[in-house]
Chain A
Amino acid sequence: EAQVTQNPRYLITVTGKKLTVTCSQNMNHEYMSWYRQDPGLGLRQIYYSMNVEVTDKGDVPEGYKVSRKEKRNFPLILESPSPNQTSLYFCASCRLGGTYEQYFGPGTRLTVT
């Protein structure tokens, strides 16, 4: 089954404790991205990647890191989480060169206390 998976689905952590949210897709998509969703602000893109070892900043990259060492994986790293990073996070992927229809993961609800 074609899918994007994220782990963990829920995470409560404390300020400053490094964490990684994993994202994996099994569709051989070149493009992957991370969004955060906050009430009243909609979906905001954090980082995206056009292919392996190619990443770029989205609209709200501060406080986040990503890596793309393999085509299928695109982890989101919070080196020193802060309460303003409490949010619902989504990973998405799509094939390049087509219509760019996005496939979304189920989401990771992160709470930073």
Chain B
Amino acid sequence: AQSVTQLGSHVSVSEGALVLLRCNYSSSVPPYLFWYVQYPNQGLQLLLKYTSAATLVKGINGFEAEFKKSETSFHLTKPSAHMSDAAEYFCAVSEASAGSYQLTFGKGTKLSVIP
């Protein structure tokens, strides 16, 4: 069974400060890992994905995430927060084995950016 834990349901950062959103996963097989972003009243959009290639993954809007197998983590970072980054962020895991491609999402972390 696969699961995702996102530490912190709400994170606040100042504009220009580092953004760090934490995600730890549990998976019985090598996972695929994703970060999605949800803006108010919208669906989820893919930020970036890890599919067993490079462990440091770059996504859209200046975000990146690093897969650390030893720590079972896939934390999302951005060097400098922008007001437009305020949204809810979801980490997700998938076990692409035996034809199963279901995504399991974390509870989400709401990011606030303070001017």
- Is chain B a partner of chain A in the same complex? no
Which B residues have a C-beta under 8 Å from some C-beta of A? Answer: none
